[in-house]
Structure 1
Amino acid sequence: MATIYLVRHGQASFGKENYDQLSPQGWEQGKILGRWLVNKVAPAAVFGGDLRRHRETVEAITTGFGADLPDMQVMDGLNEFDHLEVVERLRPEWADKQVMARDLASVPKPARAFQQVFEQAMARWLSGQHDQEYTETWEGFRQRVTTALDQVIALADGNDAIVSTSGGPIAVIAQHLLELSDRKALDMNNVIANTSVSRILYSGPRRSLAVFNNYSHLEAEDPALVTFR
């Protein structure tokens, strides 16, 4: 059976003006993953969304891998959902990033406060009760991602491939393969680490989730490198 290696992008620049780029730690995470993949995989193809953090993660992996990888084939279906829109539908005032920063700075644990709001916003989106307010519905997102998975497997054509994507698509793919509830998908999304690897085994129509959210490469190097945002 062949393997699809689903990689969540390295740590992005949370709280910065441009979130969609790797932080210095994100670059280091990608390089470590590249070193870890040496002698474990010789991918025939590399895929990713069209987000900068997806492309930069592949660049970091390639640096650590120490050899050329196939050029990344871009698939819009592998993009993350618009997390800013999801949060702002629950907290419209946070469309002003200065207001969001002020609100988070006013509490003892800003990261935890944001996570709580994010989870509430996600639950609202998943409910389907406010679909008219979102550019992309939860069901639309799920269909987009599972279609992209079909396309990746068709193009990989029985060979191993690396996919650079985000936590949301990885959670949806796991949900699809394991036939989990939407709530379970949300729970899975919350624990996917940056540059973690999930593995899908496939042969013809058969597909199995063999590994989920493995970040042992980071723990072996330095546990402080493990991040979830």
Structure 2
Amino acid sequence: MATIYLVRHGQASFGKENYDQLSSTGWEQGRVLGRWLAGKVEPAAIFGGDLERHRETVEAIATGYGAKLPDMQVVPGFNEFDHTTVVARYRPEWSDRAVMARDLKAFPKPAKAFQEAFVHAVHRWASGEYDHEYEESWPDFKARVLAAFEEMIEYADGGDVLVATSGGPISVIAQHLLGLDDARALGLNEVIANTSVSRVLYSGPRRSLAVFNNYSHLEADDPALVTFR
């Protein structure tokens, strides 16, 4: 059987003008993962969404890997859902970044406060009660991710593949393979670490989730590198 390595991108730049780029920690997470993959994994192909954090994660992995890797092929179906819109529909005033920053500064732990609001916002989006407010509904997002997943497998033609993506797509793929309900899938999304690796074994029509959310490479190098946002 061949293996698909689903990699969540490195830590992005939360609170910065351009969120869609890796932080310095995100770059180091990618380099650590690359060193961990070296000598263990030789992907026949690499895929990713068209987000900057996906591309930069592959660049960081390649730096740590130390040998030539295939060029990343862009499949937009592996993009994350539009988290900015999802949060803004839950907290309309937060469509103004300055207002969101001001509100979060009032909390002792701004990142934790944002995470709690984000979880509520995602559950609102996935509830199905407000689909008319979103350009992409939760069912549409799932269908888009799974179509990209199958397209990638068809192209891979039995080879090992590395996919740089985000927590949302990884949780959707895990949900599909394990037969989970939406609540459990959303719960998975909350715990996927940056540059964690989930492994899917495939052969013909068979797909099996073998490993989920492994970030032991970060723990072994420096536990402080373990981040979830």
Identity fraction in percent:
72
Mark the runs of 5 or more structure 1 residues left unpaired by the alignment. none
Instruction: Look up the equivalent residue of 1:160 and give its one-letter code.
Output: D
TM-score by length of 1: 0.99
For residues 98-142 of structure 1, give each alpha carbon's deviation from its aligned partner in whole angstroms, at most 9, with x where no partner exists.
100010001112111111111111111110010000010000000
Instruction: Look up the equivalent residue of 2:105 and give its one-letter code.
Output: A
Q: Which residue of 2 aligns with 1:181?
A: 181
**1:39: Cα distance to partner?**
1.3
For residues 125 and 181 of structure 2, the distance between their equivalents in structure 1, rounded to whole angstroms, comes to: 14
Q: Which residue of 1 aligns with 2:208?
A: 208
Report whether the alignment pairs 1:107 with 2:114: no
Report whether the alignment pairs 1:194 with 2:194: yes
Match runs of 1:125-136 below 5 Å: 125-136=125-136
Secondary structure of the structure 2 residue equivalent to 1:212? strand
Instruction: Look up the equivalent residue of 1:217 and give its one-letter code.
Output: H
**1:164: Cα distance to partner?**
0.2
TM-score by length of 2: 0.99
Q: Which residue of 1 aligns with 2:23?
A: 23
Secondary structure of the structure 2 residue equivalent to 1:98? helix
Aligned length: 229
Q: Which residue of 2 aligns with 1:151?
A: 151
For residues 78 and 50 of structure 2, the distance between their equivalents in structure 1, rounded to whole angstroms, comes to: 8
For residues 61 and 152 of structure 1, the distance between their equivalents in structure 2, rounded to whole angstroms, comes to: 20
For residues 109 and 31 of structure 1, the distance between their equivalents in structure 2, rounded to whole angstroms, comes to: 28
Q: Which residue of 2 aligns with 1:218?
A: 218
Instruction: Look up the equivalent residue of 2:27 and give its one-letter code.
Output: W
For residues 162 and 107 of structure 2, the distance between their equivalents in structure 1, rounded to whole angstroms, comes to: 40
Q: Which runs of at least 4 in structure 1 moved beyond 2 Å after TM superposition? A: none
**1:60: Cα distance to partner?**
0.4
**1:27: Cα distance to partner?**
0.4
For residues 153-195 of structure 1, give each alpha carbon's deviation from its aligned partner in whole angstroms, at most 9, with x where no partner exists.
1111000010000000000000000010101011000000000
Cα RMSD for the two superposed structures: 0.5
Q: Which residue of 1 aligns with 2:46?
A: 46
Q: Which residue of 2 aligns with 1:228?
A: 228
Q: Which residue of 2 aligns with 1:87?
A: 87
Moved more, 110-119 or 53-62: 110-119
